[in-house]
Copies of this chain bind each other. A is one copy, B any other.
Amino acid sequence: MGKTILITGGARSGKSGIAETMTLSLGRPAIYIATATAGDAEMAARIAAHQARRGAEWITRAEPLDLATALKETDGQAPRLVDCLTLWLSNLMFSERDWRGELHRLIDTLHLQSGPVLMVTNEVGSGIVPDNRLARDFRDAAGTLNQQVAAMADEVYLAVCGLPMKVK
């Protein structure tokens, strides 16, 4: 099985930058599997800033929903970076897909990869309990996803101030 690495952290903790450096250290060019969709101007600006930082060493593939297929189709070509899993989860929930089923399918697919896969995710559960039910449900789902992916990953890192702390 190809190596699986999970990088987690809060917003602007430098997790994407750490993940990009790690991915390129495994091979160039690398494949960037973007789960973001430019739904509004703010998100479009964030995506553009990410792309500008990544430069020309990356082949970008947009995949807001079907990560399992994206991984299957790119296996063996180059190291892959999925950025990020919480946005993917959010896309699944917003589209009213069965996120638990999709998570199961993602993990099954990860076990079958011959090349390396790095994934970025978010810490969203370390603030005050949110007022609204939807935010609490999302926080719970994101925590479940993080635990399940971390359980099968070879390495897990927590990004703090742009620096990686090894968790596993």
Q: What is A's interface to B at a CB cutoff of 8 Å?
A: 6, 8-14, 17, 42, 121, 123-130, 133, 135-136, 138-140, 142-144, 146-151, 156, 158, 160-163, 165, 167-168
A140-B12 contact given A146-B161, A147-B162, A161-B147, CB 8 Å threshold: yes
Question: Contact at B150–A163, with CB atoms within 8 Å?
Answer: yes
Query: A140 touches which one: B11, B138, B140, B151 (CB < 8 A)?
Result: B11
Question: Contact at A167–B165, with CB atoms within 8 Å?
Answer: yes
Question: Contact at B12–A143, with CB atoms within 8 Å?
Answer: yes
* Nearest CB of B to A81, in Å: 18
Question: Contact at B156–A167, with CB atoms within 8 Å?
Answer: no
Specify which chain B residues have a CB less than 8 angstroms from the CB of A138 in the assembled complex: 128
> What 4 pairs across the A-B complex have the smallest Cβ distances?
A127-B127, A12-B143, A10-B125, A11-B125
